[in-house]
């Protein structure tokens, strides 16, 4: 079943992008509409300031737009935060939760990530839930245990009915240019697939994405395994040409 899942190629712009960069999203939209990555689903997660305009640019096209985080509550006195309902209202159909940069920069616990994922599902969004070990955890031989614990504790209790993807992003491979060895990625994805099947009835239908220095030159090799169902791309998603080359390597004809 897992190898029949439509791959998801998602760009996470992080805290990058001004209105002048919206042309990159328009270029992605046009290439995807022309069939450049016809076998993949394409998602771009710009910063919140660009979300509504990006969603307008991509309305009615195969390119989905997502947020990078959401608050567990629908509204309230939480200065600077954005709710899942607000993301949806701005035109998002996805949100990333539990990215390691949020877990580290904002001290987000697994329980908080689970609450955010539940909020996103409540609002009708699809969720990309991120997990991944640090370099020290891998060196100590704890990578699988760490990722398994994050997965179990960060999963929302609500039913997700096909609206959940998991991104495995080893912290040491993010933005470093150091890509995990394909065999390590394959091994971790196989492990995650087993854990998901044990945890959820629909575990086989959850897409497992890899993230961490994915580039046009390594995307095809990294994504060859049936348990790797897409990529979460940071730096290389900022320029349409690079992102599209990754999308074509994964979802081209």
Least Cα distance to 62 among 32, 89, 87 occurs for: 32
Applying CB under 6 A, which part among 31-39, 138-146, 183-191, 232-240 lies near ligand 13P? 232-240
Position 69 contacts ligand 13P (CB under 6 A): no
Q: Phi/psi zone of residue 89: left (φ > 0), alpha (ψ -120 to 50 degrees), beta?
A: alpha
Applying CB under 6 A, which part among 1-9, 31-39, 56-64, 210-218 lies near ligand 13P? 210-218
Burial class (CB in 10 A: 0-12, 13-18, 19+), 67: buried
Q: What span, in angstroms and rounded, lies between the C-alpha atoms of 33 and 29? A: 6
Q: Which of 174, 186, 188, 249 binds ligand 13P (CB under 6 A)?
A: 174
Instruction: Outline where the chain has alpha helix (H).
Output: 22-33, 48-58, 84-90, 100-105, 110-122, 135-139, 143-154, 182-199, 219-222, 240-251
Q: What span, in angstroms and rounded, lies between the C-alpha atoms of 17 and 235? A: 11
Q: Which of 170, 211, 230, 251 binds ligand 13P (CB under 6 A)?
A: 211
Please pick, among 71, 99, 101, 189, the residue that the annotation labels catalytic.
99
Position 83 contacts ligand 13P (CB under 6 A): no
Q: Which of 5, 9, 12, 150 binds ligand 13P (CB under 6 A)?
A: 12
Residue 12: strand pairing partners: 45
Q: Which of 72, 235 has the CB closer to ligand 13P?
A: 235
Residue 106 annotated as catalytic: no
Closest distance to ligand 13P from the beta carbon of 51 (Å): 16
Position 185 contacts ligand 13P (CB under 6 A): no
Residue 142 annotated as catalytic: no
- Interface residues toward ligand 13P, by CB under 6 A: 12, 99, 169, 174-175, 211-214, 232-236
Q: Which residues have a catalytic role annotated? A: 99, 169
């Amino acid at each position: 079943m897992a190898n029949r899942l439509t791959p998801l190629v998602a760009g996470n712009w992080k805290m990058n992008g001004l209105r002048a960069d919206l042309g990159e999203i328009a270029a992605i939209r046009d290439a995807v509409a022309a069939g450049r990555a016809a076998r993949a689903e394409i998602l771009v997660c710009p910063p919140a300031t660009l979300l509504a305009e990006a969603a307008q640019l991509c309305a009615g096209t195969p390119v989905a737009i997502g947020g990078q985080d959401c608050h567990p509550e629908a509204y309230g006195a939480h200065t600077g935060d954005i709710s899942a309902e607000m993301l949806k209202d701005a035109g998002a159909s996805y949100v990333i939760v539990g990215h390691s940069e949020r877990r580290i920069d904002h001290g987000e616990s697994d329980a908080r990530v689970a609450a955010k994922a539940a909020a996103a599902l409540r609002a009708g969004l699809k969720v990309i839930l991120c997990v991944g070990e640090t370099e020290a955890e891998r060196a100590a031989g704890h990578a699988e245990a760490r990722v398994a614990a994050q997965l179990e504790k960060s999963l929302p209790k609500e039913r997700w009915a096909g609206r959940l993807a998991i991104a495995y992003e080893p912290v040491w491979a993010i933005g470093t240019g150091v890509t995990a060895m394909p065999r390590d990625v394959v091994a971790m994805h196989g492990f995650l697939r087993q854990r998901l099947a044990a945890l959820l009835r629909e575990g086989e239908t959850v897409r497992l994405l890899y993230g961490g220095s994915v580039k046009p030159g390594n995307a095809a090799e990294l994504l060859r395994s049936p348990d790797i169902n897409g990529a979460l791309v940071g730096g290389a998603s900022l320029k349409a040409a690079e992102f599209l080359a990754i999308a074509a390597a994964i979802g081209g004809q």
